[in-house]
Amino acid sequence: MTGRPDEAVERAAGGIVVRVSQPGRDALLIDDAYGHVTFAKGHLEAGETWEDAAVREVEEETGVTARILGPLGRVEYRIERASSTIRKQVRLFVMEAVDETTEPVPQAEEIESARYVSWAEAQARHEAQGYANWRWALPKAAALLDWHDGHWEKRLRGLRADDPALVQRWLEARPVLAQLLKTTADEVRTVCPDWSLPSIDEMQARLGLPRPADSVALADAVEHTLLRPDATEPEIDRLCKEAVEGGFHAVCVQPRHVARAAANVSGRVAVCTVVGFPHGATTPRALAAETRAAIADGAREIDMVIPVGAMVEDDLWTVHDHVKAVVDAAREAKDVIVKAILETHYLSVDQVIKSGLAATAAGADMLKTSTGFAPTGARVLDTALMAAVAGIGKVKAAGGIRTRREAEAFIAFGASRIGTSSGPALVRP
């Protein structure tokens, strides 16, 4: 939920702890003093991170030592206490028991019992007695554990675009990805019920990739890019000349070069620029001002960086508000396209899906993988998941794409735009 500057905030963290059993997984459940089935969680102490608090709370409440496998999600709600409104922020993680022989023992007064149960029993009990705002948690945890146990982060997400194993790995992982899409969308529908989201069937159908690499003419996809901070005006002039001669879709330049680029291309190719670049660590008001100024100088496409730090801590609401500020400013003009840069290097695979849903719900026309300033750039899996969320052809893959073969792979997996500083080399036969 969107916060108010004057309201108090309380944060809590915990997790779903899993241990391996025969014939499958067990989940650690708590029966609390209010008649609900839930998971170990509690308040952050001063100076703690979300992760530190989650590990500590699990051990303090159940006696189980666990390690974090990855983020699960976040809920927010408001409570009234002593005539004051408090905004509660609660994050859960997927965790695994360090010692699978340790049985949980309730350690806190508000806990009636703590025990491992089979995954099927955990889901049945949580569905019947769990808190409604966490109803998505166990199904999503199961999907994330399937992702983790299949080692898909390394076996698929880490593959280069030109790796010969890419298509086969994609096909093998597709059932897991379909479940990740479903359970992550269920999460977002629960915690952000007012947002307009694509249906599960629509998103899962878009996993039917790869498509033919010639679905988009390569020159029509290229956004010839020069975003280096030390770029000179002669270099901008050359970029524009190459884009016009190559018949590229657009040039992409920093805001100070927009007017020069627009004069150079004279409408023959689009002018794209960036706002909130490269960290996304600005405010909605600043983003809106940057957007209006860029459009006034001649930009027709705006690539905005989401607040990456907010997304890393599963703050969908801040991501949505930042994107909406740019969208609203862009809509004051006609036919201006907004792309949301997710900077996927810093995000878990489900956060790629969630940030895409938040950005499209806020009105972004397209999603973009990367700024080119993170340690890694575009990844084919991230591109495909973004296409599943936003629509095939509504993704710009950018960051480290230097060869025709790489560009064609990204198009095959759902991109229609390629952000690259190597435009002429990409279209060369």
Point out the residues of the chain with pLDDT beneath 70: 5
pTM of the model: 0.97
**What mean pLDDT, rounded, does the chain reach?**
96
Question: What domains appear along the chain, each with residue ranges and CATH number?
Answer: 1-134 (3.90.79.10), 213-427 (3.20.20.70)
Residue 74 near residue 314 (C-beta atoms within 8 A): yes
Candidates 181, 186, 184; CA nearest to 203 is 181
User: Residues 76, 79, 81, CA angle at the centre, nearest 5°?
Assistant: 145
- The residues annotated with a catalytic role in the active site are 303, 368, 396
Q: What is the pLDDT of residue 5?
A: 67
Q: Would you call 105 helix, strand, or coil by DSSP?
A: coil
**How would DSSP label each residue in 240-306?**
HHHHHHHT-SEEEE-GGGHHHHHHHHTTSSEEEEEESTTT--S-HHHHHHHHHHHHHHT-SEEEEE-
